[in-house]
Structure 1
Amino acid sequence: MGNREDLLAGARRCLFEKGYARTTVRDIAAAAGGVSMAAIGYHFGSKEALLNEALAEANREWGAELERALDDAAQPGATPLDRFATNWQAVIDSIGAHRGLWAATFDTLAQAGHDPKTRDQLADKLTEARGGLARLFEHLDEADTAQGRAVGALYQALLTGVAAQYLIDPDHAPTGAELAAALRTITG
């Protein structure tokens, strides 16, 4: 690996272990195997840009892993609500398996309220995430359509809310079946 890749790996470790706000340039350089602190500026421009890229990379990898989990959980012939329940249980299981990623995500969201650059970088990644969720859950290839944007935004809101509940109180966070039952009640 080169310095850039080492810095991304080190930043990811720091995000998961220390969080966004508590990670320093020195922490990242040490976690990257002693890469020069100046290399962060050279390759990424700032510590925040590096942390945001490391988080985005980790989220893309999580998305690919989630796609495989959803493919494995697929039940041909299932009703839409049964498919919804199965899919969301796979999501919830994945959140539990990637608790560090989700804690870092929420830490970064909190930081975005104080840093316009971080907020702007996250906003750019949010569009990508919404499109990915629309494709992943509903196989909508055109995430730039009004329908694709709306579906992606709904799934993003649900994902963020479920992840928050799981991080705070995993024993009482909703299950996929409970989410499907709630949806059944709402659409009754």
Structure 2
Amino acid sequence: MGNREDLLAGARTCLFEKGYARTTVRDIATAAGVSMAAIGYHFGSKEALLTAALTEATREWGTELARALAANDVTDPDALRRFATRWDAVRESIADHRGVWAATFDALSHADSREQLAATMPEARAGLARLFGGDAEDDRTAGLVYQALLIGVAAQYLIDPETAPTGSDLADGLRRITGVDAHR
């Protein structure tokens, strides 16, 4: 690996171990085995590097989630049961990638990362819409809903995994809110 890749790997390690706010330039340089000046040369700032590392980790999580959803792809004619099965896979993925989610919420509270993270939102929403079986026309609206659910489930899971909503909880809630019969 080159310095840039080493820096991304080091920043990722620091994000997951120390969090966004507590990671220093020295921490990253030490974890990456490079000089502190390399951060400025390759990324311009510690914040830009941390955000790039978090974005990369989130994309990798998305790829793994896609695999998990494909492995759990069910042909159940009941749309809400399919929805529940997929959201159980999402919940399990959040558990398996707790570090990504903890770092994401930590980064959200810092103004210096918000602009960079906001730039990735359209891609994230479109990706979520496609993961759940949507098409290009669904990207914006369905993606907004999926992203809201995902962030909410992830936050609840980080706070208390035992009471975080399951796929069945979400499906039942949707059925109750919309009044839609589960067997459509």
TM-score range, shorter chain: over 0.9
Paired AA for residue 52 in structure 1: T
**Runs ≥4 residues deviating over 2 A:** none
Q: Deviations over 1:4-46 (max 9, x none)?
A: 00000000000000000100000000010x2011111111111
Number of corresponding residues: 179
Residue in 2 aligned with 1:89?
88
Residue in 2 aligned with 1:126?
121
Paired AA for residue 8 in structure 1: L
Residue in 2 aligned with 1:3?
3
Residue in 1 aligned with 2:104?
105
Q: Deviations over 1:145-174 (max 9, x none)?
A: 4x4211101111110000000000111111
State the percentage of identical aligned residues.
69
Structure 1: gaps (5+ residues): none
Distance 1:108 1:170 in 2: 21
Structure 2: gaps (5+ residues): 180-184
Distance 2:169 2:114 in 1: 33
Distance 1:28 1:152 in 2: 33
Distance 2:49 2:82 in 1: 37
Under a length normalisation based on structure 1, what TM-score does the superposition of the two structures give? 0.92
Alignment of 1:34-49 (within 5 A): 34-49=33-48
Paired AA for residue 102 in structure 1: W
Distance 2:44 2:117 in 1: 16
Q: How far is the alpha carbon of 1:111 from its aligned partner?
A: 1.2
Q: How far is the alpha carbon of 1:94 from its aligned partner?
A: 0.5
2:156 is the counterpart of 1:165? yes
